[in-house]
Amino acid sequence: MRGGGRRSTVVLDPHRWLELRRFRSLLESGAISLSEVARETGLDRKTVRKYLSAPGPATPPRRSPNGRSKARVIDEFAPLVDSMLRAEILMKAAVIHGRLVAEYGFTGSYQRVKLYVQEARPRIAEELGITPKELAGMHRRFEVVPGAQSQVDWGDEGKILAHMGIPKVYSFHMTLSYSRDPFCCFTTSQDLQTFFDCHRRAFAHFGGVPMTIVYDRTKTVVRRHVAPGEAVPLHPEAVGFAGHYDFDIDVLAAYRPTGKGRVERQVLIVRDHVLSGRSFSSIEEMDAAFAAWVPQRRAQAHRTHQQIIGERAARDHMALKPLPETPYLAAERHLRPVGKDCLVAFGGNLYSVPARRVRPRQLVEIRATKSQVMLHTTIADTGGETLLATHPRAIGRGARVVEETHWDGLPTGKGRRTTTGDVPPRPRRDLLGARRPAPCRPC
């Protein structure tokens, strides 16, 4: 306003202002914060506070007398932004802002660039003949350096061995992202021990460990599912395994289907080239078929990088981290109470613990591998020891695995009188003696 009052600064056009005002009641009720509104609308937090605070403007921002909004800093650079989007329609606003600042002296904020890119990207896509549906389905291809990353996935091979009495077969896949060098092995289970045993076999196949491994949100890697944007709680065994082999775990964001496309494509390739049209009688035969196919795959030129897979695989293998001297044995972990008979139930079987080191109903930790069951106390003793007992893992259910020395000091029951509940038969002479009359006393 001319004449003495301050002129209001136009930041938002009426449409954006109305969109922002929808959040005012939620903000006043405490159901949403300023930061959450800023993330939702893509606006700066200060802008949100200005327009949603109690004394904030109650009407849309005013325009200048000529009917046009005040010129924005980004307007001068709009042709540059448009040219960048024409060259790469999926270029991120952060990248564009960085280039404008570094190469063209742009002084505006990232939020200004972000808002302009949100408006310009659909317009440029339309110019290029890209439909909104096609734009939504596009993703930017990423490249990695040798040894930097591998991707892991499972395949379900169904009843391929059902005629041999094996109801279900799975394929484990690990693909090196730089070269697309594949590894695959076949299993009858997807449990924790099998999952990490397959990792050890893959590391041996490649001759080392990549810096990062990409996973789905599988239960062997993630303890529980969380909302998008929240930190993902990792499975303790996955953390221990990754720490032992010195690699980072990269868990895909929810609803991100293109995050590990290289290994997902590999699942289909192995199924087509190794399994299709063939019959097998064992898991070992299936593993041998894959091993025989690997040299053929490595001799091919990949359609994406147009180089021989084996040549890039050699660079990949050279950059991998060395394997540790000892392997990591992944174990199932469970808490179980000790029974009065010093036995602990696990997997439908009973395992003994030393009577002198536990008490009834005490919780102990079970660490079970495919071949062993180890029982630990939850608190270390004075010597720092937690291991109570180690047993071979029972096959099937209903077994009782006991080390007799664990029961030393317990009552044996030999000092008690026992009965079956039946009255024992008396000898015949005792019965006759009972019927014989007592001798008469002399008068």
**What single-letter DSSP state applies at residue 149?**
E
Q: Which residue in 71, 264, 242 sits closest to 151, CA to CA? A: 264
User: What are the backbone dihedrals phi and psi of residue 250, each rounded to the nearest 5 degrees, phi first?
Assistant: -115, 105
List the one residue out of 11, 2, 115, 1 whose CA is nearest residue 71: 11
**Of 181, 198, 180, residue with least CA distance to 189:** 198
Residue ranges covered by each domain of the chain? 73-137, 149-319, 332-407
**pLDDT surpasses 70 at 320:** yes
Residue 140 has pLDDT above 70, yes or no: no
- Read off the pLDDT band of 310 (50, 70, 90): very high
CB burial of 374-400 (b: ≥16 within 10 Å; e: otherwise) equals bbbbeeeeeeeebebbebebbeeeeee
10, pLDDT greater than 50: no
Query: First and final CA of the chain: distance in angstroms?
Result: 149
Q: Indicate whether 322 pLDDT > 70.
A: yes
**Cβ neighbours for 222, distance < 8 A, ≥ 6 positions apart:** 232, 233, 234, 235, 251
Under 8 Å between Cβ of 373 and 391: yes
Residue type (1 letter), 419? T
Mean pLDDT for 372-380 is: 88
Contact 401, 392 (CB under 8 A): yes
Q: Is the model's pLDDT at 416 over the cut of 80?
A: no
State pLDDT tens for residues 147-166: 889 999 999 998 999 999 99
Least-confidence region, from 16-30, 67-81, 112-126, 249-263: 16-30
Q: What is the DSSP letter of 62?
A: P
pTM of the complete model: 0.56
Scan for tokens 């495919």, then name that residue: 370
Mean pLDDT of the chain: 81
In sequence order, the 6+-apart residues with CB closer than 8 A to the CB of 365 are 333, 334, 335, 375, 376, 377, 378, 386
Taking 80 as the threshold, does the pLDDT of residue 212 lie above it?
Answer: yes
Could you tell me which residue, 47 or 438, shows the higher pLDDT? 47
Report the alpha-carbon angle 196-198-202, nearest 5: 115
Concatenate the DSSP letters of all residues of 80-111 into one string: HHHHHHHH-TT--HHHHHHHHHHHH---S-HH
In 3D, which of 168, 167, 173, 169 has the Cα closest to residue 154? Answer: 173
- Predicted local distance difference test score (pLDDT) of residue 38: 79
Percent of the residues in the chain that have a pLDDT greater than 90, as a whole number: 29
- Contact between residue 98 and residue 78 where contact means Cβ atoms under 8 Å apart: no
CB-based contacts of 17-20 (< 8 A; 24+ apart in sequence):
17/51, 17/60, 17/61, 18/60, 20/48, 20/51, 20/52
Contact 249, 215 (CB under 8 A): yes
What's the rounded Cα separation, in Å, for the pair 411 and 303? 74
- Report the distance separating Cα 98 and Cα 163, nearest Å: 61
Class of domain 149-319: alpha beta
More confidently predicted of 252 and 66: 252
Which has the higher per-residue pLDDT, 207 or 77?
207
Stretch 387-395: mean pLDDT, rounded? 90
pLDDT value of residue 2: 42
**Which pLDDT does position 1 carry in this prediction?**
40
User: Which stretch of 69-83, 271-285, 335-349, 424-438 has the lowest confidence by average pLDDT?
Assistant: 424-438
Residue 99: what pLDDT? 84
